[in-house]
Chain A
Amino acid sequence: MLAKVNSFALSGLDGYKVDIEIDINAGLPRVEIIGLADTAIKESAERVTSSLKNSGFHFPVKRVIVNLAPADTKKEGSLFDLPIAVGVLAASEQLHTAAYKNYVILGELSLDGKLRPIDGLMAILISGMQQGFTKFIIPSENAAEASYIDGIEAYCVHSLKEACEFLEGVSKITAVEHKEFANALCEQKCDVDFSEVKGQRTAKRAMEIAVAGGHNILLIGPPGAGKSMLAKSVVGIMPDLTFEEAIEVTKVYSVAGLLDEKKGIVTMRPFRTPHHTATIPALVGGGNRSLPGEVSLANHGVLFLDEMPEYKRAALETLRQPLEDGTITVSRVQQTVKYPANFMLIGSMNPCPCGNYGSRKQVCTCTPQAIRRYLNKLSGPLLDRIDIQVEVDGVEYADLRAHGEEESSRSVKERVMRAREIQRKRFADGGIYTNSDMNNRLIKEYCSIPAEAEEMMESAFRRLSLSARASFRILKVARTIADLEGKDKIETAHVAEAIQYRSLDRKYFN
């Protein structure tokens, strides 16, 4: 007899339906899995055989053919164990119902017949729902992930036996209860509060502006200045994830197998810090399974590149596409997949190889050439995408730091949210969300500045030898500063402040 079970497979973040057909023929006893299956799926034959036996069923002593349709796409992973087992039972008439046809069945089996969690469930459930499937049978450990998706019935089972009993109607299981995202959101907490960073007022101000306008930022400062701490604290002042954003982040984490199964959804904005030895596939995604890389894991969050010039030049250059488009296309032999990569880039670097350039207490031992070589590791086009460059003070300025109370993340965040709200309204039908995404046309439309400021910018270019491409960056940042103050028009002071955030363009760094 022939059985056909519905299941799903993943391509990037999108799931597609896979029909698992099982036929049992006379012949020498063996299992054959066809339809471009990878090793994990081929091995599923052994897992299914053992788990059937250990669940009190018997494996037919015949020739079993398993076909994964469509047959022309490469399928990977272990999520077909359960549907294959159910199919074998149905085909060998050990399962006395056809109810399995109404469900999408997913799950990995262990040898004793228990179910194990699978990766990428969130992405599969969403794709399944979009394609009109509403009933799913999933491993119970994936329950949390399913609970945030409204409009589906997900039935969690612990073992193969339980699944069969459920299908036959012997035992009753209720579908996973839907949870509200807002409740999950309350639990989040950031590691470093903004108030824990003492002093550093210029840098903190720049951070606030960067977050408010979605600008990328480069922190320049000597070793030990607290650049990493500053970067870590930024997550706490970013606006909360919206549900749509959280789902998108969770999908990526789920596919990458990094999701916390108990929580089932990502509620914190991601903060990713790849090491500077990271390879290109690690950064942008790839490998033979075309998994998402750091830029996609940082989607809707922060990608922090500590000691940016230490990264391989080629690796840094690959960031240009995601910085521009907010997506990354990973092409491999088997498939080309597109992952989201809409992140805020925070880079940090020393002012020179020894780190003491510009310090009043330490002597910089670098030659001008060495400094230039160091700075040149960041290419022009890459720097072009970093709106704010700011210097962070060395530890020797600890005594200068104000003794007053430092502002907490919460109150900074409120200001940021207000500025974001203004931007959201401004770009309501523009398809963008923040000032940093403005193109030249939008800059012309929204960033008109008073004549006085125009004059100042012109002389600033001459006097401070700012590069020409800095001008749009300055206007965008000035727009954000005005938004933070709730001002409708950009004022001269806003432009003046924005000019201060172009440290690397300055003559003294060359």
Chain B
Amino acid sequence: MREYTREQMAMIKLASIEEMSQRQRKAVLSLTDKPQEIFLHPARFAEALDKIGDSLYEKIRDTEESFDEERFLRYTESINAAVLFREDKEFPKRLCLEEDAPILLFYRGNLALLSEECFAIVGTRAPTRYGRDVTDSFARALADAGFTIVSGLARGVDAIAHRAALEKGKHTIAVIGCGVDRVYPAENKDLYERITQNGLLLSEYFFGVEPRAFHFPERNRLISALSEGVLVTEAGSKSGTMITVNYALDQGKDIFAVPGNIFSDQSKGTNEMLHNPQCMIATDPQDILDYYKKEGVKEQGEARQLTTEEVLVYAALQDEDKHFEELLNITGLSMGELMATLTKLEVLGVIKKLPGNHYGI
């Protein structure tokens, strides 16, 4: 079990006060070198505390009474979590941001990942099929080339990026906007479990803290700060992704965007980014790998000669997605033959079945 110094414990206690903003915590900590003093003799700080925020003095006194260190340690141990402080050697230098470096980080999983080369992939929570495909293929290629994929475990692009990395057997880091013992959104539970096993889960927030709207912009700064660069695969113009992009710009990170359909709302954000001279265009994962002078890994698929029927179907799908009936008319195959051919191609990963009896490449 990891042990914490008195100073560290005091900082953890401070983090446990949910009503307090990060700014207030920093302001309180700036009052003294020994944070435990704040809890031991709150009266000394009373005047200053009240200046900083609403009845902070009260909250600190309440916490001193209610916070059970034993229980905290037991719980931390039981969920295999721990707290990382700035003075720890594992604490990445790149997180020591000028103004708003985190005071501490709660984590679960493999801390060694922080010393690896990280790359962030972010985007909309409601990606189109295009956005899904782009995210998946870029995440796979970048993970294969040795990057640890960083994202926010949100719906949509985040989850797809994490999954792609894990499926490649690579590592991934999730920075989340709630306590590390909470799964949000619930549908990512399996992903959450896999990341706690094979990846790293980071959060600035105390155990059990709910995901609040303002947490997400805060954690976005950490996503970009952790990474060498940030890739936006698909995002609308008012997407929260743009907050990450702005942080990345401030932090001087490399920013890549994948262009999208100019008529699609979900691509407005990424397309606008391309107007910014600081953003780079990425139309192939290799573009990013070239920039970092990395070697891409060729996808190794078993080469197999397609049969005549398979070629027919593949050719029919080349320009655009087609409905099953259209394919029947174009290829002239029988129902059974076409179904069988489609399944074989699908299993080979050459085509995809889409909702509504559509097929596409």
Contacts and interface: CB of A to CB of B under 8 A. Distances in A.
Contacts of B340: 492-494, 496-497
B346 A358 contact: no
A358 B346 CA distance: 18
Given A459-B347, A500-B342, A358 B335 contact: no
26 contacts: A201-B324, A201-B328, A201-B335, A202-B357, A205-B335, A357-B356, A358-B354, A360-B358, A368-B155, A372-B187, A391-B356, A393-B323, A393-B357, A400-B323, A400-B329, A402-B329, A456-B347, A459-B348, A460-B346, A464-B346, A485-B336, A493-B336, A496-B344, A497-B339, A500-B343, A508-B355
**Residues of A contacting B: mostly:** helix
A456 B304 CA distance: 14
A497 B336 contact: yes
Nearest to B335: A205
Interface of A: 199, 201-202, 205, 351, 357-360, 368-369, 372, 391, 393-394, 397, 400-402, 456, 459-460, 463-464, 481, 485, 492-494, 496-497, 499-500, 506, 508-509
A509 B356 CA distance: 11
Contacts of A199: 325
Given A368-B155, A463-B349, A496-B340, A202 B324 contact: yes
B356 A358 contact: yes
B325 A401 contact: yes
Interface centre among A357, A460, A497 (most CB of B within 10 A): A497
Given A460-B347, A493-B340, A499-B343, A360 B356 contact: yes
Interface of B: 126, 155, 185, 187, 323-326, 328-329, 335-337, 339-344, 346-349, 353-358
Contacts of A485: 336
Contacts of B335: 201-202, 205
Nearest to A368: B155
A5 B354 CA distance: 70
Interface centre among B326, B347, B348, B349 (most CB of A within 10 A): B347
Identify the 3 closest CB pairs spanning chains A and B, nearest first: A358-B355, A358-B356, A496-B340
Contacts of B185: 369
Given A201-B325, A369-B187, 16 more contacts: A205-B335, A357-B355, A360-B356, A391-B357, A393-B357, A402-B325, A456-B344, A459-B348, A463-B349, A464-B353, A492-B340, A496-B340, A496-B344, A500-B343, A508-B354, A508-B355
B353 A506 contact: yes
A357 B344 CA distance: 25
B325 A397 contact: yes
Contact of A393 (B325, B341, B344): B325
Contacts, number: 85
Contacts of B326: 400
A375 B155 CA distance: 18
A496 B126 contact: no
Nearest to A457: B347
Contacts of B155: 368
A460 B328 CA distance: 23
B324 A497 contact: no
Nearest to B342: A500
A285 B344 CA distance: 46
A351 B357 CA distance: 12
Contacts of B187: 368-369, 372
A210 B329 CA distance: 25
Contacts of A391: 355-357
A368 B126 contact: yes
A460 B324 CA distance: 19
Contacts of B344: 456, 496
Contacts of A481: 336
A400 B348 CA distance: 28
Nearest to A464: B346
B125 to A, nearest CB: 9
B126 A400 contact: no
A23 B216 CA distance: 89
Contacts of B324: 201-202, 393
A203 B17 CA distance: 58
A205 B356 CA distance: 16
Contacts of B323: 393, 397, 400
A455 to B, nearest CB: 9
Nearest to B185: A369
A74 B230 CA distance: 78
Contacts of B349: 463
B55 to A, nearest CB: 38
A393 B155 CA distance: 29
Given A368-B155, A372-B187, A393-B323, A496 B358 contact: no
Given A202-B324, A459-B347, A463-B346, A351 B355 contact: yes
Contact of B343 (A369, A497, A508): A497
Nearest to A463: B347
Contacts of A360: 356, 358
Nearest to A399: B325
B324 to A, nearest CB: 6
Contact of B325 (A357, A400, A463, A500): A400
A237 to B, nearest CB: 16
A370 B357 CA distance: 21
Nearest to A357: B355
A493 B337 contact: yes
A359 B358 CA distance: 9
A506 B357 CA distance: 12
Contacts of B328: 201
A29 B30 CA distance: 106
A496 B353 CA distance: 13
A205 B187 CA distance: 35
Contact of A496 (B339, B354, B356, B357): B339
Given A400-B325, A508-B354, A456 B126 contact: no
A149 B323 CA distance: 53
